[in-house]
Chain A
Amino acid sequence: EAGVTQSPRYAVLQEGQAVSFWCDPISGHDTLYWYQQPRDQGPQLLVYFRDEAVIDNSQLPSDRFSAVRPKGTNSTLKIQSAKQGDTATYLCASSFGLFYEQYFGPGTRLTVL
């Protein structure tokens, strides 16, 4: 069974550029989570979906961050006008439903210069 896949694995940007991260959850998992993990810290939840609906996006840092999951399967997290403070690993996780175990992808390591 394939795990959670993410792309790209790495991204390097200049400040002000935009970037998108893509996540393909485990087949059959209706709940999808995006986390931000700065270097030497634990992951922090940004947003999560059940099917295509946003359940909680209150932790998205600012209007520069947006996330969609239009068909309730794959998801995209986008950062408009990236800043150096956005440098982190962005992790996607999926689960069979709320409160089930979350399975994480390998993450996308973003560096903003």
Chain B
Amino acid sequence: DAKTTQPDSMESTEGETVHLPCSHATISGNEYIYWYRQVPLQGPEYVTHGLQQNTTNSMAFLAIASDRKSSTLILPHVSLRDAAVYHCILRVNTEGADRLTFGKGTQLIIQP
């Protein structure tokens, strides 16, 4: 019962800026939007998260729609090391209910 929808895969070229979309039409007011990425034979790696405002860090920019029903993870100037499965996850902030529910995510393929 994944609450987010992402494309199965996307492809880009080194040096380009990648926009990874995520739809979460039934998001609740207390749910945060988290992004993790995972490469083979490793556990997921935290990328970023947000509630309502756009956020930025050294890895990515997270753009959240004003109605919060969708978001986009923006990866500037990607390299081959950015090739991974990117998971968009909703995380509820309720005592006793801290759970990251992963879907299949988006496989990002980077061409040299």
Name the B residues within 8 Å of A102 (CB-CB).
46, 100
Q: Say if the beta carbon of A22 comes within 8 Å of chain B.
A: no
Name the B residues within 8 Å of A4 (CB-CB).
43
Q: Say if the beta carbon of A91 comes within 8 Å of chain B.
A: yes
Q: Say if the beta carbon of A41 comes within 8 Å of chain B.
A: yes
Name the A residues within 8 Å of B61 (CB-CB).
none
Residues B42 and A106 in contact, CB atoms below 8 Å apart: yes
Main secondary structure of the interface of B (DSSP, over half): loop
| CB contact between B46 and one of A42, A99, A101 (< 8 Å): that residue | A101
Stretch at the interface among B10-18, B67-75, B91-99: B91-99
> Shortest beta-carbon distance, B72 to chain A, in Å?
20
- Complex Cα–Cα for A67 and B42 (A): 22
Most interface-central of B43, B46, B87, B97 (chain A CB within 10 A): B43
Residues A40 and B44 in contact, CB atoms below 8 Å apart: no
Most interface-central of B42, B44, B91, B98 (chain A CB within 10 A): B98
- Complex Cα–Cα for A56 and B96 (A): 7
Q: Say if the beta carbon of B104 comes within 8 Å of chain A.
A: yes
Closest to B42 in A: A106
> Shortest beta-carbon distance, B94 to chain A, in Å?
9
Interface string of B58-95 (1 = CB under 8 A from A): 00000000000000000000000000000100010101
Name the B residues within 8 Å of A40 (CB-CB).
104
Q: Say if the beta carbon of A105 comes within 8 Å of chain B.
A: yes
Q: Say if the beta carbon of A45 comes within 8 Å of chain B.
A: yes
Q: Say if the beta carbon of A48 comes within 8 Å of chain B.
A: yes
Name the A residues within 8 Å of B105 (CB-CB).
42
Name the A residues within 8 Å of B49 (CB-CB).
101
> Shortest beta-carbon distance, B104 to chain A, in Å?
6
Take A56-B96, A99-B91 as given contacts and tell me if A42 and B43 are in contact as well, using a CB distance cutoff of 8 Å.
no
Residues A56 and B102 in contact, CB atoms below 8 Å apart: no
Some 30 contacts from A to B, beta carbons below 8 A apart, are: A4-B43, A41-B104, A42-B87, A42-B102, A43-B43, A43-B44, A44-B101, A44-B102, A45-B99, A45-B100, A45-B101, A48-B98, A48-B99, A55-B98, A56-B96, A56-B99, A91-B44, A93-B43, A98-B98, A99-B91, A101-B46, A101-B49, A103-B46, A104-B42, A104-B44, A106-B42, A107-B41, A107-B42, A107-B43, A109-B41
